[in-house]
Structure 1
Amino acid sequence: MRPILNAHVAEPGLVVVDVAAADDQTAFAVQEMLAARWATATADRTTREPAEPGVRLRFYLDLRQEADT
């Protein structure tokens, strides 16, 4: 995975979320669950690492901003 940049965690409440899951459906379900609660910069695709099982998904969220419900 790409390195985490200082801008991604420059202030308290900013979070980089790395999800490792068995499949795309599971990874996106976790993202949707968190996006329903907090402001989230969602990802639209997963990645696969050669010789590693499952998929990975990275997205960013801001705990300071609750999502509109």
Structure 2
Amino acid sequence: MRPIHEALVAEPGLVVVEIAAADDETAFAFHEVIASRWATAAADRTPRDPGQPGVRLRAYVDLRQALGISAEGDAVR
């Protein structure tokens, strides 16, 4: 993965989360949990490192923008 750019964590509340998982399904499931609670950039691919097992996914999260959860368990912005 590319290095984390300083601007992505320049302010309190900005977080970069790197996810390592056995497969795409697991990585996207974890990303979905994060995205249901905080403003998160969309993730659409999981790169594979040659010679390394599993996949990686990077999530950009803004903890300052917490999402509410409806009575049905859905995220509410």
Q: Same fold (TM over 0.5)?
A: yes
Per the alignment, residue 14 of structure 1 pairs with 14
> In the TM superposition, what are the counterparts of 1:1-69 in structure 2 within 5 Å?
1-68=1-68, 69=76
What is the deviation of 1:13?
0.6
Alpha-carbon distance in 2 for matches of 1:9, 1:42: 17
Deviation of 1:67 (Å): 2.0
**Under a length normalisation based on structure 2, what TM-score does the superposition of the two structures give?**
0.86
Could you say what the CA RMSD is over the residues aligned between the two structures, in angstroms? Answer: 0.8
Counterpart of 2:71 in structure 1 is none
Identical columns (%): 68
SS at match of 1:25: helix
Unpaired runs of 5+ residues, structure 2, are 69-75
Moved over 2 A (4+): none
**Gaps (5+ residues) in structure 1?**
none
TM-score, normalised with respect to structure 1: 0.95
Distance in 2 (alpha carbons) for counterparts of 1:8 and 1:67: 20
Structure with bigger gyration radius:
2
Task: Please give the per-residue CA displacement for 1:28-57, whole angstroms capped at 9, x wherever unaligned.
Answer: 001000000000002100000011000000
Aligned residues: 69
